[in-house]
Amino acid sequence: MSINALADKVRAGGRLTDAEALDMYLSAPTHLLGLLANEVRQKRHPDRTVTYIIDRNVNYTNVCVARCSFCAFYRPVGSPDGYVLGFDEIVRKIDETIELGGGQLLLQGGHNPDLPLEWYEDLFREVKSRYPTFRLHALSPPEVLHISRLAQMSVPDVVRRLVAAGLDSIPGGGAEILVDRVRTLLHCYTKASADEWIGVMRHAHRAGLRTTATMMFGTVETPAERIEHMSRLRALQDETSGFTAFIAWSYQPEHTELQGVEATAVEYLRTIATARLFLDNFPSLQASWVTQGGKVGQLSLTYGANDMGSVMIEENVVRAAGAAYCMDEIEIVRNIEDAGFEAKRRNMHYEVLGGPIFRERQVPRMLELAVARADGDTAVPAELVNYPARSRAERKRRARSQVYRTMSPDLAVADHKPWWKGARGEWFVVAQVVLIGLVFLGPRTLAGGPAWPFPFPHASMVVGAALVAAGGVLLGAGFVRLGSDLTALPYPKDGAELVETGAFGLVRHPIYSGLLVAGFGWWALFVQGWLTLAYVAVLFVVLDMKARREERWLVEKFPAYAAYQLRVRRFIPFVY
Ligand code: SF4
């Protein structure tokens, strides 16, 4: 069908197929897309109202085991920059939000294994007992899934308990692109596959919650995959009618592992216009001024958006990736009204609450967004001791559970990581060096006598020379064949880390193992230490056996790891 025929179909109220939406997205002139999207918006919202909400984005923790490659916000478990907000800090943020006219928190955070279901329940109850009418728009589908894995409880049960504790609705975060190929590349498949994300939302809608839906675009997906993403949302909306709004934002690449470039304003506007045409069962479409800035956000209102999102008050995630726009209520309203619309305050269900609050009473100006915590504040909330989710016993219990391992490989890897592969892994290497030194010196040397006697000096020289040569070959092979790929492992990050850090990493890495073999060769050549060689050989065999067992488990959990493993094995088969 031609673009004009598709435009006629839209104007007649017809539903675009995936292929037709893709045609429009790729080929329709930008002004036509905008014109059509504006017409569709006007049909749905004829009163020229543009809504916004006053709420606060609170990221309760930045510790995350998911470690998506597009995320600049998270900190790994054990990081000194990791934080968990205390209940008192969150309560204080609520007080500030209420002062600015807000009535809701958007509460999201990392997948922190220290926070079990009970922590969320206690927090929600605490908030609701203090502020009964205050709304909690909290926990994106991957967070719900993470909590269910941690608790080893089904998603519907977790949703039921969270709702009983005070959850009011679920934000649509963590959807990124609902295509598993893309999710695998972004290392967010294990936090929630496309089906799992949809599944959590289905359960939430069935439990009576209304939710939003999001799309983060501009990473590694194709235009067809963006349409596929919308198509999955549209299908679920046909089934449940539980989505209140669709929000698209562009990937922010700064400080992320993935890097790349940000989508342009035109790409953003084309995307939301296409969404307005394609998502014919979504009542609202939000403008993302947080990633696009106020001016493009304002322009979005003529490309299908009927909502300016949130005043936000606080933001940490997008800011970590380089975008730092700020608009308080006065500025949001100015942008809406200047574009020829009427600004109305709303709640999370997109019900209009009234006009701008600053016209009703004095509210403080907000010239920059707050942050979760001041830099350098490393306080650990006192109540965390009540939640022993990360205790040794709990970790062991979880690690023993096959169900849990299969469901949450990221979390399982975090739990499973033995001490010598964590930060203390380097101490293991130091301990090895000391041990080798002791064996080499021998008790007699330490006692003031000569070094160990070596019965076959010539033979050990031959062995030493052979090891030096082997080390040289390994090094050469490593450099020539791997080249710059050697450490460039986009995923799986946990798996790669297991290989590249700690003692196993040093022993099994092509370059390091070359250095190691060559080093011990020199040692044997000059010092002729049979005991040293014997120690190294035993160490190699033992570590290799353990590493192989580890790898079998990793390959099972991370199919992508197998590719890395094979790549390494290609050049160094005699060590691996
Ligand atoms: S996007 Fe969310 S789940 Fe992914 S690493 Fe960042 S905080 Fe964790």
Express each pLDDT in 394-417 by its tens digit. Answer: 777 766 665 555 556 566 666 655
**199-258 residue pLDDT tens:** 999 999 999 999 999 999 999 899 999 999 999 999 999 999 999 999 999 998 887 878
95 CA distance to ligand 1 middle (Å)? 27
Determine the average pLDDT of the residues in 47-66.
Answer: 92
Ligand 1 mutation target, pool 69, 186, 191, 249, most atoms within 8 A of CB: 191
Determine the average pLDDT of the residues in 15-30.
Answer: 96
Top pLDDT among 478 and 260 is at 260
pLDDT given at position 65: 83
pLDDT given at position 445: 43
Q: Is the dihedral of CA 369, 372, 373, 376 positive or negative?
A: negative
Q: Which range in 174-183, 429-438, 459-468, 551-560 is most confidently predicted, on average pLDDT?
A: 174-183
**187-208 residue pLDDT tens:** 888 788 899 999 999 999 999 9
68 CA distance to ligand 1 middle (Å)? 5
Distances (CA, A) of 380 to 84, 85, 137, 383: 7, 8, 25, 9
Give 548's pLDDT tier (boundaries 50, 70, 90).
low
120-142 core/surface letters (b: 16 or more CB in 10 A; e: else): bbbbbebbbeebeebbbbbbbbb
Distances (CA, A) of 97 to 160, 253, 346, 369: 27, 29, 15, 12
154: helix, strand or coil: coil
Helices (DSSP H) in 176-285: which residue ranges?
A: 180-185, 194-206, 223-240, 265-278
327: helix, strand or coil: coil
Q: Which two tokens stand for residue 391?
A: 């205790």
Q: Which two tokens stand for residue 13?
A: 């109220």
Share of the chain residues as helix, strand and coil, in percent rounded to the nearest 5: 55, 10, 35
Would you say 48 and 40 are in contact if contact means Cβ atoms under 8 Å apart?
Answer: no
Angle at the Cα of 25 (from 22 to 27), degrees rounded to 5? 100
Mean pLDDT, the chain, integer:
78
Nearest alpha-carbon partner for 327 in 362, 284, 356, 360: 356
**Nearest residue CA, atom 7 of ligand 1?**
110
Query: Looking at the predicted structure, is the pLDDT value of residue 94 above 70?
Result: yes
**Nearest residue CA, atom 2 of ligand 1?**
110
pLDDT given at position 66: 83
Determine the average pLDDT of the residues in 310-316.
Answer: 79
Taking the alpha carbons at both ends of the chain, their separation in whole angstroms is: 57
Residues with CB under 6 A from ligand 1: 64, 66-68, 71, 73-74, 110-111, 142, 188, 191
Determine the average pLDDT of the residues in 63-80.
Answer: 83
Ligand 1: atom nearest CA of 62 is 7
67 CA distance to ligand 1 middle (Å)? 6
- Euclidean distance between CA atoms 79 and 13, whole angstroms: 53
Q: Which two tokens stand for residue 388?
A: 């022993």
Ligand 1: atom nearest CA of 143 is 3
Top pLDDT among 451 and 233 is at 233
- Euclidean distance between CA atoms 515 and 521, whole angstroms: 10
**342-397 residue pLDDT tens:** 999 999 999 999 999 888 888 777 777 777 787 778 788 888 888 877 677 777 77
Angle at the Cα of 250 (from 248 to 256), degrees rounded to 5? 135
pLDDT given at position 100: 87
Query: Looking at the predicted structure, is the pLDDT value of residue 98 above 70?
Result: yes
SS3 assignment for 53-92: ECCEEEECECECCCCCCCCCCCECCCCCCCCECCHHHHHH
pLDDT given at position 185: 84
Query: Looking at the predicted structure, is the pLDDT value of residue 147 above 70?
Result: yes
Query: Looking at the predicted structure, is the pLDDT value of residue 558 above 60?
Result: no
**Nearest residue CA, atom 3 of ligand 1?**
66
Query: Looking at the predicted structure, is the pLDDT value of residue 456 above 90?
Result: no
Query: Looking at the predicted structure, is the pLDDT value of residue 271 above 80?
Result: yes
- Euclidean distance between CA atoms 156 and 200, whole angstroms: 8
pLDDT given at position 293: 86
Nearest alpha-carbon partner for 302 in 48, 57, 58, 70: 48
pLDDT given at position 73: 87
